[in-house]
A and B are shown apart, each in its own frame.
Chain A
Amino acid sequence: DQQVKQNSPSLSVQEGRISILNCDYTNSMFDYFLWYKKYPAEGPTFLISISSIKDKNEDGRFTVFLNKSAKHLSLHIVPSQPGDSAVYFCAAKGGSNYKLTFGKGTLLTVNP
């Protein structure tokens, strides 16, 4: 049973446009959400996070939106750059449980 779902395996956008990556979750106990970026042959690196007490968190070109009622979060990248091309993982954890549950990832390709 997949508790964190990224339904789009891949996404392609033009440089300068907005990239929107989506993530859905099923576990109501999740209260903290993170996005990681992964380049080939490297480990995932932390990008941005959001607590369930917020509905938006922004860091430079990256914004994460959380809709608790829909159990949905999204990562917006504006403007997209070719260096943003990577696999993006959504992850979640809940309460005192600090283990992260990951989605399967979305491969973002930003075309020059």
Chain B
Amino acid sequence: NAGVTQTPKFQVLKTGQSMTLQCAQDMNHNSMYWYRQDPGMGLRLIYYSASEGTTDKGEVPNGYNVSRLNKREFSLRLESAAPSQTSVYFCASSNRGQGSPLHFGNGTRLTVT
């Protein structure tokens, strides 16, 4: 039972480079999310997708774009990476409904030099 799978696990980019973080879930969840975790900042929501075909900005969307490719997959793209985007990125998914917790992947550790 894979749950939420993120690739890659680690990535080093130079400033200005672009990359896409991939996320897939096999739990048939409707909603998917991208969070970033920085030291002393907790988890902050970047973008989310309530259902297939919809995406919305979260708390810190600047510098990112997302694509909900289908129900299973939700990707996060950095068009021109900046050192401020050095972080650990977590993808999560959930069912609709108040009582549905988020299930997280194991994260992508990104360093931008």
Contacts and interface: CB of A to CB of B under 8 A. Distances in A.
B79 to A, nearest CB: 24
Contact of A105 (B42, B50, B97): B42
B48 A99 contact: yes
A45 interface: yes
Interface string A77-95: 0000000000001010100
Which residue among A6, A41, A44, A45 has the maximum number of chain B CB atoms within 10 Å of its CB? A44
Interface stretch (B11-19, B69-77, B104-112): B104-112
B99 A44 contact: no
Contact of B99 (A43, A49, A100): A49
Contacts of B42: 6, 89, 102-105
A44 B31 contact: no
B19 to A, nearest CB: 20
A105 to B, nearest CB: 6
A62 interface: no
B106 A49 contact: no
Contacts, number: 58
Contact of A44 (B41, B43, B48, B58): B43
A26 to B, nearest CB: 15
Contacts of B105: 43
Given A34-B101, A43-B104, A49-B99, A98 B43 contact: no
A45 B98 contact: no
A49 B90 contact: no
Contacts of B102: 44, 46, 100
